[in-house]
Structure 1
């Protein structure tokens, strides 16, 4: 039997070992930490600005430098994980995360902090797809993989919510610098345990890395995220917003042309032609865009219309966060009773139905209890859709392309997070009258409509591959 045949052989059904459980714990700890990093500095930005001498206009680069690299390089590093080893890339990324976080924690000026945030973004682009690929190749397609990915989704959702709360607590009680030092502690723990418990499949022949394709798609993603981020700050009509987006569109077209001609493409056109990969990632982008963006109009509603403090608003969003964690556990059950495609459709329909009533909020505080209920339900439904898209987008993908598949998943997630808020922000501004309330109502209505549209598109166009014969118990 050849090395390639060994690599492509399906996993043998066995019960989960103690070592595998430790491996899952390590990988989920890393992903949770990276999810926290997306939101942990939001509350701390004014304090960082005062301490390090950032101008108000440049504060956004603390967030943007991270998101540009995290989204822009994730597809490239997803493929690197396939070619040179997922465990190896995961460990390198954790080392970079620890070093960059330590530098950020002791930074004394804006330049050093921005450089460290770039390092953190690159580490995220390395670790996230590598960790997901290690998870998907550890378990055969079926209930075991669905449960692990559901737990991963739940912890990532909890990470986003925890990050905002943790950043506020650390900034108020100790220092914003501890938002970085915690990463160092986690990195040391992961590096102490991961080499012992993580295993990776043997790599057969290493194909050449498609450098032209990698460079073009990376620049395209960076341009897209930069344009979207600028639109959220300056509006969609400014050249600084639509210019980079137009450049990204041209570069994506160029990337497709390159991939159709090279012998060993970065992204195989055959992979993108898989219905479950293409439409699964569309669903993922929409799922992350709708739920994370909804926080923006609801924040305006709670603080600007109802007059609640930031602390009270944060506690209300924590309730939404609990719903998302619950959805992470419900997702695998829904998939087990139906399938991953139906889980996406059900998740979107319930999320849209739960979000729609919020389009009719008023300036009465009586809306707080209904808001708590429907946002809890919507958050749970959103995670059902997210678990469904994660399982769908990796189904039937060969083992040697799992890093690329999980890179696509991570890219969809991060672009969705980046895209959603500027879109709803533009709608709020466009429809706002004497108060922000009409704009808030319109943006929430659009969010609900996007969920229902996503359910229709996925229901009509997504096709699942044939179910595998082998499954693994967990």
Structure 2
């Protein structure tokens, strides 16, 4: 028995549609950040509720990506992609129409559910379109460019729409993009046979989703209630219990959500571990930077958005160059150098002043961060799908997106807690703007330290001379043989 997945007779048009899907998903991650003060006033959000406007999307996205990837392998990647885009568009409209904080946060969570279907299906389709080699390296470069540019463009578009119209229009814009991409994918992506991969692991999906939800809820609540609050400790205990249950279920299930064969291919484990650490500072960057520009520097939403253009341009440049760099110097040197470049940018950013300016404090670091972030993302994505058999490519795409999103949700919760604590302490003896800046400096400084440590870890985990880089062919072996046979 066979199912259908996606392919096309026009790879360029299909890649454009799939890249558009990824761009839209990433746009929704950051487009709310500039508008958070206006959204907070519009629907009456508390401090913790403001964080949940970001985390509800990121958590649902990250917690359900494995399920989305597995569904794409079982039900057909094109089918899951189109369904995800439809759900994403409808929930975006609902977010724009929201009149209360509960409705808004719920709509953002449903957006995350749609994104969890879109991202792994789209990445698997890209892998179907471009076999291992320079063509796939260039395609992943495009993928990285739109992923990073989507985050930066979200801040820009959010600023423009919030200032020119009002905050609901940021969600209407995302909905418009989703429906346009849906039409393009329906037109340019067609179907091709893919082998049936077994039955869906419902219990495993439920337990891992509950574990991740409890973990991030506990981290977010700790910012308000403290780390020893009984509810916080209870959430952490629930997360640990659900994680243990997930491990037991996976060992006994005939078709586990995370089959062991996935981690036997290439450098999948290394790629995902490093992607989680990269993600832990990625979302936080696009959360804190716009807040500093608006709350401390006094920039309007429009100017805050325009300030992201250099970062977006550097991101696109890094994504374009990443496959060429990896073919020239290898995966290990590429990842390590990119992470250190981004760490340097964040360390520079940790020197921001309450009385500084965009040109003095933000422009230079933004360029370094954009170059490092995009190059690392492209190479780590390549490592995370390296040597994976075709019937598991949706799951592999779901896994790498899961590690990035869950890492981002946890990183944001921890860094927001840290920044809030530092700001509260500084406010006892410093003016308000100085206290806010102290919190942001702490968040950026810790982010730089995390990336520097990640670079050292990358040097150890990715060093294996027989394994190809992003633009090289995968050598013959069980995984690659299976990929060609399907």
Aligned residue number for residue 444 of structure 1 = 444
Residues in 2 aligned to 1:146 and 1:212: alpha-carbon distance in whole angstroms: 36
Measure how far apart 1:367 and its partner are.
8.8
> Is the Cα–Cα contact under 8 Å of residues 334 and 379 in structure 2 kept in the other structure?
yes
Aligned residue number for residue 214 of structure 1 = 205
Measure how far apart 1:350 and its partner are.
1.9
Measure how far apart 1:212 and its partner are.
1.9
Q: What are the superposed Cα offsets for residues 154-203 of structure 1, whole Å, 9 maximum, x if unpaired?
A: 11212112212222322332233332333343333333332332134413
1:146 aligns with 2:161: no
> Is the Cα–Cα contact under 8 Å of residues 72 and 221 in structure 1 kept in the other structure?
yes
When the two chains are superposed, the root-mean-square deviation of aligned CA atoms in Å is: 3.3
The structure-2 alpha-carbon separation of the partners of 1:148 and 1:227, relative to structure 1 and needing over 3 Å to count, comes to farther
Q: Structure 1 residue aligned with 2:382, among 374, 388, 391?
A: 391
What are the residue-to-residue correspondences of 1:458-469 with 2, within 5 Å?
458-462=458-462, 466-467=467-468, 468-469=474-475
> Is the Cα–Cα contact under 8 Å of residues 331 and 388 in structure 1 kept in the other structure?
yes
Q: TM-score, normalised by structure 1?
A: 0.85
Residues in 2 aligned to 1:129 and 1:274: alpha-carbon distance in whole angstroms: 18
Q: TM-score, normalised by structure 2?
A: 0.84
Aligned residue number for residue 171 of structure 1 = 162
The structure-2 alpha-carbon separation of the partners of 1:363 and 1:151, relative to structure 1 and needing over 3 Å to count, comes to same
Q: What are the superposed Cα offsets for residues 52-109 of structure 1, whole Å, 9 maximum, x if unpaired?
A: 5666764554434323321211111111111111111001111212222333344455
Gaps of 5+ in 2: 469-473, 481-486
Secondary structure at the counterpart of residue 203 of structure 1: strand
> Is the Cα–Cα contact under 8 Å of residues 341 and 388 in structure 1 kept in the other structure?
no
1:347 aligns with 2:338: yes
Gaps of 5+ in 1: 8-15
The structure-2 alpha-carbon separation of the partners of 1:120 and 1:459, relative to structure 1 and needing over 3 Å to count, comes to same
Aligned residue number for residue 151 of structure 2 = 160
Measure how far apart 1:290 and its partner are.
2.4
The structure-2 alpha-carbon separation of the partners of 1:367 and 1:25, relative to structure 1 and needing over 3 Å to count, comes to closer
Tell me which stretches of 4 or more aligned residues in structure 1 moved more than 6 Å: none
Q: What are the superposed Cα offsets for residues 370-413 of structure 1, whole Å, 9 maximum, x if unpaired?
A: 64223311221121111110000000011011111110111112
1:264 aligns with 2:241: no
Aligned residue number for residue 137 of structure 1 = 128
Aligned residue number for residue 453 of structure 1 = 453
Aligned residue number for residue 194 of structure 1 = 185
Residues in 1 aligned to 2:288 and 2:169: alpha-carbon distance in whole angstroms: 29
> Is the Cα–Cα contact under 8 Å of residues 156 and 308 in structure 2 kept in the other structure?
no
> Is the Cα–Cα contact under 8 Å of residues 35 and 301 in structure 2 kept in the other structure?
no
Measure how far apart 1:306 and its partner are.
5.7
